[in-house]
Amino acid sequence: MPVPVIVLNFGHSVLRSLDDYTEAASEIYRHYRQGQNVVAVTSAQGDQTDMLMAEARQIGPDGAAKNLPELIQLGERRSAALLALALERIGAPAFVRQARDLGLKARNATLVNLDVEQLEDDLKNHDIVVMPGHVAIGEKDRTVLLTEGGADMTAIYVAKRLGIKAKLLKDVEGVFDKDPKSAGAAPQRYDRISYVDARKKAGPLVSPKALDFAEEHSIEFDIGTPGIPSYTTIGAKTGTLSPLPAPKKLRVAMLGCGIVGGGVYRRVKANSERFEMVKIMVRDTAKYIDQGYKPEELTTNIEDVLAAKPDIFIDVSGPVEPCLTYCKTLLENGIHVVSANKQAIAAGGQELVDFARDKGAQLMFSSAAGGGMPVLEMCIRERGRITRVEALLNGTTNYMLDEISAGKSYAEALKEAQDKGFAEADPSGDVNGSDAAAKIRLVALLGFGEEVTLEDIPRDTIENFAPATPPKGAMKRIATCWKDMNGFSTKLELKDLSLNNFIAQADGEEAHAIFYFDDGDQYRIRGKGAGRWPTTESVMADLYDISATYF
């Protein structure tokens, strides 16, 4: 089954500051974790184009200079590189392609060619492709620019050639009956709008040339803003107007504030229109006050957390108890729980999932397995047709095995994994396999509807791993869950894998997984299995999914 793909264009109004690239990467990640591959088309950041134009005026010839596009394209290319870096930070598999690499050609400022096979290959190999908009190759092989707002045109053209949909992301949630920033009665948004009406109502929101091109080729596309699931579709017909539902600002409390908690704290603060951190429960408040947290944000007891009336409780701590009890207490009170605590969730099992449902609260724990690799989303989506899952489920182990195979000692490799924030506070579970085993239990539960205990999972340890000879391929510790005529089984095995194997290609803390389906189909996913930002992003995506239910 082909993987669905979407083209997302990030306009300059949503790329105003460097922080906006983090938000853009989050938007892409949210699509990726829903099972979509993404072509991200970038505009230049804010006023970068004006700055480059000013430089050109100082040095270049007057009038239309043939080499001007060489300079101006750097704005869009810089954006593509920054977005790819932001994606890499959260462990999303991004790959940058330039217009020239993709045979993106223009004549008279209109796109006329794309090497579709190349782009499809890139998507197969990298899942997310980032490319600058507005830039193309013109006559005599020169770089040329499309007209004003050309990144819209790039996104629409690429989507048309791939036979998929483009979504243009701007700083407004779609097309309105009046300027959404104007005074007076609240503006209303169209769910759909025709090309003709869009010319009158969308104003400078969409490049007129892109709109003409879309109309001429009957291409539908969407206009929206990052983080808001609804949007306006531009196409043949105008639909209905409705008031824009404002997202409720959700109160968030957190249990634990270590590597991941610190990341979540920063991202929640950066998304202050949507979320407010109302309480953080830790063992020792003084330690966090020293780190700059405000005393009133911190507590050591769960009663204070409840009194803060959170909408969502985030568990980024490690042990089963008292965390599992706390989660149940919060769920009991109808408070949603987002958990990265794989041991607590695995121990709670189906009973905990049922408990949350009975209390009418959402229980989400994407970050509890796979870090930023959306392995549990895949389990939920495809349950019923999965016959086998092979996955790297512990980033620390993968990192250590690579380093030891390259000549480092076990102690050195472990110390580095701890310093980089991959290992748990007590890393014994990382190396002896109980961390991966808890994640196997979550895959078994969500992907197969099976509850297994730690004792049911045969597992290889990597404690004091020191191979006498270097591996022939790559040493990996693979978690496998499968069902066959003998029933359901799991194991955690150390293997020397051929370098051609997709799982063997995960470097360092990266995680790879292969899903096998009952119709013979396979699906591969990847991400970073551990570390602050990949895991934080996974928590944030759960927060956004909960937030979406409040519109």
Reported as type and span, the H/E element at residue 131 is strand 128-132
**Taking the complex as a whole, how short is the minimal distance between the CB of residue 400 and ligand HSE, in angstroms?**
9
Furthest-apart CA pair in the chain: how many Å?
A: 78
What does the DSSP assignment read for 524-550?
Answer: EEEEE-SSHHHHHHHHHHHHHHHHHTT
Which span (79-87, 232-240, 394-402, 496-504) binds ligand HSE, by CB under 6 A? Answer: 394-402
Kindly report the number of other CB atoms within 10 A of residue 488's CB atom.
Answer: 15
Which span (29-37, 262-270, 346-354, 528-536) binds ligand HSE, by CB under 6 A? Answer: 528-536
**Taking the complex as a whole, how short is the minimal distance between the CB of residue 365 and ligand HSE, in angstroms?**
11
Kindly report the number of other CB atoms within 10 A of residue 192's CB atom.
Answer: 19
Reported as type and span, the H/E element at residue 236 is none
Residues 6 or more apart from 190 whose CB is under 8 A from it?
174, 175, 176, 177, 197, 201, 232, 238, 239, 240, 241
Residues 338 and 286: beta-carbon distance below 8 Å: no
Counting residues that bind ligand HSE (by CB under 6 A) gives 12
Q: Can you state the angle between helices 68-89 and 18-33, rounded to 10 degrees?
A: 60
Between CA 230 and CA 240 the distance in angstroms is 14
**Taking the complex as a whole, how short is the minimal distance between the CB of residue 478 and ligand HSE, in angstroms?**
14
Q: Is residue 371 within the footprint of ligand HSE (CB under 6 A)?
A: yes
**Taking the complex as a whole, how short is the minimal distance between the CB of residue 530 and ligand HSE, in angstroms?**
4
**Taking the complex as a whole, how short is the minimal distance between the CB of residue 427 and ligand HSE, in angstroms?**
7
- State which residue, 82 or 392, has the beta carbon closest to ligand HSE: 392
Identity at 39, one-letter amino acid code: V
**Taking the complex as a whole, how short is the minimal distance between the CB of residue 541 and ligand HSE, in angstroms?**
15
Between CA 327 and CA 187 the distance in angstroms is 41
Exactly one of 9, 37, 48, 396 binds ligand HSE (CB under 6 A); which one?
Answer: 396
> Half-sphere exposure of 521 toward its Cβ, with a 13 Å CA cutoff?
10
Reported as type and span, the H/E element at residue 398 is helix 395-405
Q: Can you state the angle between helices 342-359 and 434-443, rounded to 10 degrees?
A: 30
- State which residue, 102 or 530, has the beta carbon closest to ligand HSE: 530
Site string for ligand HSE, 471-510 (x = CB under 6 A): ----------------------------------------
Tokens of 433: 């396999």
- State which residue, 133 or 374, has the beta carbon closest to ligand HSE: 374
Site for ligand HSE in 404-443 (CB under 6 A): 422-424, 430, 435
Q: Is residue 402 within the footprint of ligand HSE (CB under 6 A)?
A: no
Exactly one of 213, 529, 533, 540 binds ligand HSE (CB under 6 A); which one?
Answer: 529
Q: Is residue 538 within the footprint of ligand HSE (CB under 6 A)?
A: no
Residues 6 or more apart from 529 whose CB is under 8 A from it?
91, 370, 371, 372, 373, 392, 393, 394, 395, 398, 506, 509, 510, 511
- State which residue, 421 or 447, has the beta carbon closest to ligand HSE: 421
**Taking the complex as a whole, how short is the minimal distance between the CB of residue 218 and ligand HSE, in angstroms?**
47
- Which of 439, 476, 483, 495 is an active site residue? 439
Q: Is residue 222 within the footprint of ligand HSE (CB under 6 A)?
A: no
Geometric angle at alpha carbon 502, from 376 and 120, rounded to 5°: 85
Site for ligand HSE in 326-365 (CB under 6 A): none
Tokens of 539: 């928590």
- State which residue, 205 or 436, has the beta carbon closest to ligand HSE: 436
DSSP character for 341?
A: -
**Taking the complex as a whole, how short is the minimal distance between the CB of residue 394 and ligand HSE, in angstroms?**
4
Q: Is residue 395 within the footprint of ligand HSE (CB under 6 A)?
A: yes
- State which residue, 80 or 414, has the beta carbon closest to ligand HSE: 414
Q: Which residue in this structure is represented by tokens 């396999």?
A: 433
Residues 531 and 421: beta-carbon distance below 8 Å: yes
Q: Is residue 80 within the footprint of ligand HSE (CB under 6 A)?
A: no
- State which residue, 219 or 323, has the beta carbon closest to ligand HSE: 323
Tokens of 405: 């195979």
- State which residue, 32 or 422, has the beta carbon closest to ligand HSE: 422
Q: Is residue 374 within the footprint of ligand HSE (CB under 6 A)?
A: no
**Taking the complex as a whole, how short is the minimal distance between the CB of residue 495 and ligand HSE, in angstroms?**
18
Which span (239-247, 275-283, 307-315, 391-399) binds ligand HSE, by CB under 6 A? Answer: 391-399
- State which residue, 211 or 364, has the beta carbon closest to ligand HSE: 364
Q: In the beta sheet, which residues pair with residue 281?
A: 255, 299
- Is residue 439 part of the annotated active site? The answer reads yes
Identity at 277, one-letter amino acid code: M
Q: In the beta sheet, which residues pair with residue 232?
A: 223
Between CA 352 and CA 466 the distance in angstroms is 40
Residue of 189, 190, 194 whose CA lies nearest to 218: 194
- State which residue, 69 or 531, has the beta carbon closest to ligand HSE: 531
**Taking the complex as a whole, how short is the minimal distance between the CB of residue 135 and ligand HSE, in angstroms?**
39
Exactly one of 42, 43, 394, 547 binds ligand HSE (CB under 6 A); which one?
Answer: 394
Q: Is residue 264 within the footprint of ligand HSE (CB under 6 A)?
A: no
**Cβ density class 357-368: b for 16+ within 10 Å, e for less:** eebebbbbbbbb
Which span (320-328, 393-401, 451-459, 460-468) binds ligand HSE, by CB under 6 A? Answer: 393-401
Which span (303-311, 379-387, 388-396, 453-461) binds ligand HSE, by CB under 6 A? Answer: 388-396
3-state secondary structure of 245: coil
Q: Is residue 547 within the footprint of ligand HSE (CB under 6 A)?
A: no
Residues that bind ligand HSE (CB under 6 A): 371, 394-396, 422-424, 430, 435, 529-530, 535
Active site members: 439
